[in-house]
Chain A
């Protein structure tokens, strides 16, 4: 008797055995018990999750002599025949080998005969996605309204290849990948029954390799058992699965993060010498990096990541080598390489390149931090663009704020020295209505003009050309150059009255405006317009000086032995 692989030996025979597909088995069982079983089923899902097994169990449940029952009895003639594949009323058809329309025609011929022994004639078509389009279409009418004694069960891994017209005539069941704990539990049941000694850790590795497929896991287990017979050691499992020693993986990652190229290259050589597949190596690196990233983020890493022993500690110390951004970047590089490795004939070179690149990249910067820095710079820059006077006027304010306490203190101490402590500080508070405004106004003719501009721009434009000769409230003397047209204009009573009103508002008392004619003498202060002009020319001269003395300009002149023809300010906003 030849050996039967575990996957076949332990093929589920009841819905209860079907691991991880409770949603399917419950629906089917309920449908059968309530007598609402559909006539066409479509089972889809990844490889090795139980589609074909479920189809056979369903066939048994429908045809069971003790039923139709939610669970087949597995002891009646019908059940045993189906299990051994000899049943005359259950046809298991290989859809991938019988793909043509002729095969379907042949099948239809047999439909109309009643089942010979059982309740139903059941057609299980496996790998149904390989049927030709004609074959599918030939099935349509039959599938929509088959004879009462006929049931169809289709199974496939690729439901997207099946025409929608077929899909709409079937009850579709999507089989899920089996979660790792369930696979492990099932493996444990099997190894116990087979009397094989194996550790939980090894089973976890096997289940991980299976990738959610029971058959893959069992194939792997078979291989392990074939190698080690009844006593399985962890090391053997690791070696058989081609797993890379964790030490090597950690060394590779440490090399990357410590920017140590030669360390990384050495690891690659050791991996090659040990005969590991580089794809496997890369996949495991991805897994370790994933764990490294997650162990910082999840609250219970030991449980969530399924770690054993001191692995968590090792991961934690690894993750401290770099920040999360670095790990994320490494992860995406490795994932990209992993994909490339599948088709590359130079896997070693690819891995070397990726790891060396990872090892030579500078540490990643946090983007949010960078943005913050840029914003700070921008702020400094825009405040720097304000013409010089502004910072000067701003400076005292800031120092006042910063040293507010000291100012108060110094005032107090000054007061003590003068021996008239309270009054000195008091007057500024009480006096302002009378004295403060004139002080500012007298000194600030331009301020007054601004004030006028607020209520009457034309008047302000006129006043700009005048200069304040004397300010002795309630009289204000404004001078204009001899022969100015503006003298007549401002002597107009209504205008003069308007100015006087504004002045009264500003100074809090009645003000009389006197317009005077200036001689050619120079004793009068400059008018605002003149002042502006002078300032402008001052600025230009300063700019010119700056430009001429600038080292770059000097150098340029020297190199080209040239001359400076003109200097044009680019932007008036800058000084």
Chain B
């Protein structure tokens, strides 16, 4: 993986390359940005740049090949063990970083998901991170920099990565023989994460999205039984709940945009515009905000392992409420 192979992030590439050329590479970096946008690839590209015999990240020299095969003695990659990175991993790392590099000019350590460092491990890393020996370089990667210890952040050069632009993702997708509208929808739904866009649940996004919205709009306030049945059906598939709620969120966001007179170029579900516009006619700005909050709430609860069936029922009840439900929301405000 070289800089040229990474899509987007031109500024970050330029910065790292400049730092390398000016011999101003810091000893600790923290790459931040959403998941699946190429942070780790960038870290590997940096390592290749440093380790490569030709100083280009050629991909053919032994250094580059061994990085690709993940068996370079001077590259250490620390990953989560279970749900967290534990102190033992850091102690092990410290031991290794105490020695000079074997082949490459530097020893590089990549810590992926640095937000998963547990408190003991994070604190144990501090002294190393502040003043490692001269040939050591650490690259921390995190999608949630706010959850990384403040003391760690202060010791690193932070390099924020933006989400990929929709047009870029659409371009990648179009190389994979997907038709145009689908490309656009997927690109919009993926929220700048290529991992998401190329993920295996693509069919879900394309096909079931319409079905989800259709069955939802078929419900009305009075029809309790169909609503409970739908909730049961949705709650049954644990794996897809996350996708399901994000689909709902994207649909309701479109409604929200229409209700608040946003331009139609902002919409995500361009293939379902007709239906969404119909739905939007029934909503007031306040009721739609209320519903969006309900979906966000539901996601929050699902992440905390609540009873799925209950969560879905509650969500559906809130979603099927007409604008007359405003009274309640207004009193809350």
Contacts and interface: CB of A to CB of B under 8 A. Distances in A.
A349 B292 contact: yes
B154 A219 contact: yes
Residues of B contacting A: mostly: helix
Interface on chain A toward B: helix, strand, loop, or mixed SS? helix
B253 to A, nearest CB: 6
Interface string A83-114: 00000000000101101000000000000000
Interface stretch (A141-149, A222-230, A395-403, A525-533): A222-230
B210 interface: no
A227 B15 contact: yes
B162 A97 contact: no
Contacts of A356: 256, 260, 285, 289
B131 interface: yes
Interface stretch (B18-26, B66-74, B169-177, B275-283): B18-26
Contact of B18 (A219, A229, A345, A360): A229
A119 interface: no
Contacts of B23: 2-3
A265 B124 contact: no
B19 A5 contact: no
Contact of A277 (B26, B119, B160): B160
A227 B19 CA distance: 6
A544 interface: no
A78 interface: no
Contacts of B207: none
B157 A130 contact: no
A99 to B, nearest CB: 7
A8 B134 CA distance: 12
A contact residues, range: 35 or more
A215 interface: yes
B154 A48 contact: yes
Interface stretch (B76-84, B261-269, B306-314): B261-269
A392 B262 CA distance: 60
Nearest to A357: B289
B146 interface: yes
Contacts of B126: 94, 96, 126-127
A97 B91 contact: yes
B65 interface: no
Interface in B121-161: 123-128, 130-131, 134-135, 144, 146, 150-151, 153-160
Interface string A334-347: 00000000111110
Contacts of B233: none
Contact of A360 (B134, B191, B285): B285
A3 B25 contact: yes
Given A2-B134, A127-B126, A226-B18, A360 B162 contact: no
A239 B11 contact: yes
A261 interface: yes
A88 B191 CA distance: 55
Given A8-B131, A242-B160, A360-B260, A127 B249 contact: no
Contacts of A129: 123
Interface stretch (A268-276, A305-313, A456-464): A268-276
Interface string B191-212: 1000000000000000000000
A569 B156 CA distance: 81
Nearest to A8: B131
B26 A5 contact: yes
B257 interface: yes
Interface residues of B, number: 58
Nearest to B293: A353
A512 interface: no
Residue of A97, A157, A357 ringed by the most chain B CB atoms within 10 A: A97
Nearest to B19: A226
A172 interface: no
Contacts of B261: 261-262, 265
A226 B124 contact: no
B25 to A, nearest CB: 6
A222 B292 contact: no
A176 interface: no
Q: Which 8 A-B residue pairings sit nearest by Cβ, starting from the closest?
A: A275-B162, A96-B123, A226-B19, A265-B262, A94-B127, A261-B260, A47-B154, A226-B24
Interface of B: 11, 14-15, 18-19, 22-27, 90-91, 94, 106, 119-120, 123-128, 130-131, 134-135, 144, 146, 150-151, 153-160, 162-163, 165, 191, 249, 253, 256-257, 260-263, 266, 285, 289, 292-293, 296, 299
Interface of A: 1-3, 5, 8, 46-48, 52, 94, 96-97, 99, 126-127, 129-130, 157, 213, 215-216, 219, 222-223, 225-227, 229, 239-240, 242, 261-262, 265-266, 269, 272-273, 275-277, 279, 342-346, 348-350, 352-353, 356-357, 359-360
Given A261-B260, A265-B263, 18 more contacts: A2-B106, A3-B25, A52-B130, A97-B124, A127-B126, A129-B123, A130-B124, A157-B150, A216-B154, A219-B156, A219-B158, A222-B24, A223-B26, A223-B158, A239-B11, A265-B257, A276-B162, A356-B260
19 contacts: A2-B23, A96-B124, A99-B120, A130-B119, A130-B123, A213-B154, A219-B154, A219-B155, A223-B157, A227-B19, A242-B160, A261-B261, A265-B257, A265-B262, A273-B165, A346-B249, A352-B256, A353-B256, A359-B260
